């Protein structure tokens, strides 16, 4: 069975997965890199990093993933749709290595990068995008790569089987909140929390019943 | 030194310390008792309860406290100010056992209850209320008892030395959020997170520098 999964989505104590405003210089706005320092310190990111609980969670980002879906805000700064030369933040060899579907109201031709990543651009509902990604995933799982509003849309549509959030002990005050519209989420998921010596808390949500929106 | 402390303030994953709407029948609105089940399961609440990490945190609510300050919403349902017979939710022997200051725009005469609790009613700023409570605390600490908007006001004014929040794995979606207006809180506090086998995560904030608002 091919699952739909979310990994390593870092949020502040007040639930923001990105600060504001987003720009070319500041992809996470005033949050800077503060939401992701826990990950930079792991072996997943850096061979000399830690191999504890943070790393154990971080590495699952890759495991068994055959495609990713991301939102337009993850692919580029405001206005990238008007720049035909924009190929994402990640240089010639992006860290996805699978078909990667970018949700945008302004689709463009697919873009084949080095290392196995091909960007496809879709104007589609969450369910329709998932169907395309699933077909491209070769029987493996589909990752919803964020940002927070895309995560919210897929979770609210009942399409997500497993979600891993990482709560970082900072209060951002503003940005894009992951929780909005998800009242009662715990009814459909087994929730676990485990705090790490690094200061972050890993939250996992594992779906306990059939999906609300996935016809498969 | 007399400290100002917050204990056992339970919040949802999305940061709400109470649901809505508050009423005589539902002091926490649609949250019901879900934010406090972790506490009911401890020995602090029930002699047959657990004695693990949840209990270790819960019991500190009482320890060394000489006075409490609470908001009008904690003292009674909307409209209690118009009922001269209202003496709080807690019956003749409230669980405070100290001078207890209720912030309200409609002060009334003090109310001496059984067991050492005396309610005093104050229309005062956080700093002024703290000064009164401190004077009544006999050298012991002052607890800010909530609800969330009062907690926010005292924290934002730099008056709080220690704060203990308990994050419960539910998404309430609406109510009163504790985080609003507290951007950058981590600059003034050492933050720790520890998850419990019960599913909740204890968050402690210990002030690392001098208070921003406390003249003492």
Instruction: Write the pLDDT tens digit of every residue in A18-46.
Output: 999 999 999 999 999 999 999 999 999 99
**Band of the pLDDT at B213, cuts 50, 70, 90?**
very low
Residues of chain B in contact with residue A173, where contact means CB-CB under 8 angstroms, are 179, 181-184
Please indicate whether, in this complex, the C-beta atoms of B186 and A169 are within 8 angstroms of each other: yes
Average pLDDT for chain B: 95
CA distance B185 to chain A (A): 6
Residues in a beta bridge with B4: B142
The count of C-alpha atoms lying within 13 angstroms of the C-alpha of B43, restricted to the half-sphere facing its C-beta, is 9
User: Comparing C-alpha atoms, which of A44, A47, A68 is closest to residue A143?
Assistant: A68
What is the pLDDT at residue B3?
98
Q: Is B84 helix (H, G, I), strand (E, B) or coil?
A: coil
Mean pLDDT within A53-62: 97
Q: What is the pLDDT of residue B41?
A: 98
Residues A177 and A16 sit within 8 Å (Cβ to Cβ): yes
A199, B192: Cβ pair inside 8 Å?
A: yes
Which residues of chain A have a CB within 8 Å of the CB of B13? 15, 179, 185, 203
Considering only CB atoms, which chain B residues are within 8 Å of A183? 171-174
CB atoms within 10 A of CB B10: 22
Q: Which residues of B touch A (CB under 8 A)?
A: 13-15, 167, 169-174, 177, 179-186, 191-195, 199-201, 203
**Residue B211: what pLDDT?**
53
SS3 letters for A2-15? CCEEEEEEEEECCC
Is the pLDDT confidence value at A210 over 80? Answer: no
For residue A201, list chain B residues with Cβ-Cβ distance below 8 A.
167, 193, 195, 201
Residue closest to A70 by CA, chosen among A141, A129, A29: A129
- Answer yes or no: do A171 and B182 touch at CB < 8 A: yes
Which domains does chain A possess?
Answer: 4-77+93-207 (3.40.430.10)
């Amino acid at each position: 069975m091919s699952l739909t999964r979310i990994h390593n989505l870092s949020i502040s104590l007040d639930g923001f997965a990105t600060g504001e405003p987003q720009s070319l210089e500041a992809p996470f706005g005033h949050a800077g890199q503060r939401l992701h320092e826990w990950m930079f310190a792991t072996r997943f990111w850096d061979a000399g990093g830690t191999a504890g609980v943070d790393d154990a969670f971080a590495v699952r980002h890759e495991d068994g993933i055959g495609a990713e879906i991301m939102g337009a805000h993850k692919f580029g700064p405001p206005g990238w749709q008007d720049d035909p030369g924009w190929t994402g933040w990640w240089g010639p060899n992006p860290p996805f290595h699978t078909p990667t579907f970018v949700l945008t109201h302004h689709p463009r031709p697919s873009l084949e990068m080095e290392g196995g990543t091909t960007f496809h651009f879709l104007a589609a509902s969450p369910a329709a995008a998932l169907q395309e990604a699933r077909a491209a995933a070769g029987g493996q799982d589909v990752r919803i790569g964020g940002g927070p509003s895309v995560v919210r849309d897929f979770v609210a549509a009942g399409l997500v089987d497993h979600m891993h959030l990482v709560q970082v002990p900072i209060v951002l005050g503003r940005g894009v909140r992951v929780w909005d519209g998800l009242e009662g989420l715990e009814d459909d998921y087994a929730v676990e929390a485990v705090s790490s010596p690094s200061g972050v808390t890993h939250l996992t949500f594992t779906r306990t019943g059939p999906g609300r929106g996935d016809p498969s």
